[in-house]
Amino acid sequence: SRKCKDGSTGYHSFSARPVTKAGKIIGIEGFIIDTTERKNAMDAVIQEQEKAQRYIDVAKVMFMIQDAKGTVVLINKKGCEILGYEEHEIIGKDWYDNFLPDSVRQKTKDGIAGLLSKKHEPEEYHENYILTGTGEERLMGWYNSYVYDENGDIENIYCSGEDITERNKAEQALKESEERYRALVERANDGIAIVRNGEIQFINSRVFELFGY
């Protein structure tokens, strides 16, 4: 950096080499390139990246960007928390080989390959299991968006994922409970009906037998 006449700070790069005569160094020659605008532009980009990172870090869902090869290029704090890794342990890693269980890895890879080769259209929403650092499998619900290059090929995939493991377990438990309840009611010797506001909502098979309808 350098102090300019107007009090501002400028930046430059300097390249030099010695000038010799009769085997002795008699001076140096070189050139200076003003890099102030480039430095300011880079600082602005870094500030925007830091601002964007702060926004996604407060999100309550996993946010991740991966390139077309499946390499993770960005992930937020919630994503690190769900996966059970530090950020530096995730960035630069292959998403499919490192963070998906064997049961879904190849199917997911095939799906992405078909997407990249334009054999099918992108899905707005899908669910699949991920593999955490402890070896636990968690079910994620994903919303993805895609960034394309000038040739219309996918360049990056922006992934927003919610951990729906507990909700899925609750829904499955409710379904199993309803199935057990229905099986119990259907096997009952008594006729069972549910009537709401004078309208029959449910009857078991014993009612059919008793009334002959």
What is the 8-class DSSP label of residue 121? Answer: P
pLDDT at position 98 is: 96
124 Cβ contact list (under 8 Å, min separation 6): 143, 144
164 Cβ contact list (under 8 Å, min separation 6): 127, 139, 140, 141
For 79, other C-beta atoms within 10 Å of its C-beta total: 25
Residues of the chain with pLDDT below 70 are 1-3, 10-16, 30-49, 51-52, 55
pLDDT at position 40 is: 62
Q: Which of 54, 110, 57 is nearest to 79 (CA)?
A: 57
Give the integer Cα–Cα distance in Å for 44 and 50: 10
pLDDT at position 25 is: 80
Give the integer Cα–Cα distance in Å for 65 and 76: 9
Assigned token pair, 122: 């992108």
Give the integer Cα–Cα distance in Å for 133 and 99: 8
Q: Which of 89, 91, 46 is nearest to 64 (CA)?
A: 91
pLDDT at position 70 is: 94
Q: Is 62 helix (H, G, I), strand (E, B) or coil?
A: strand
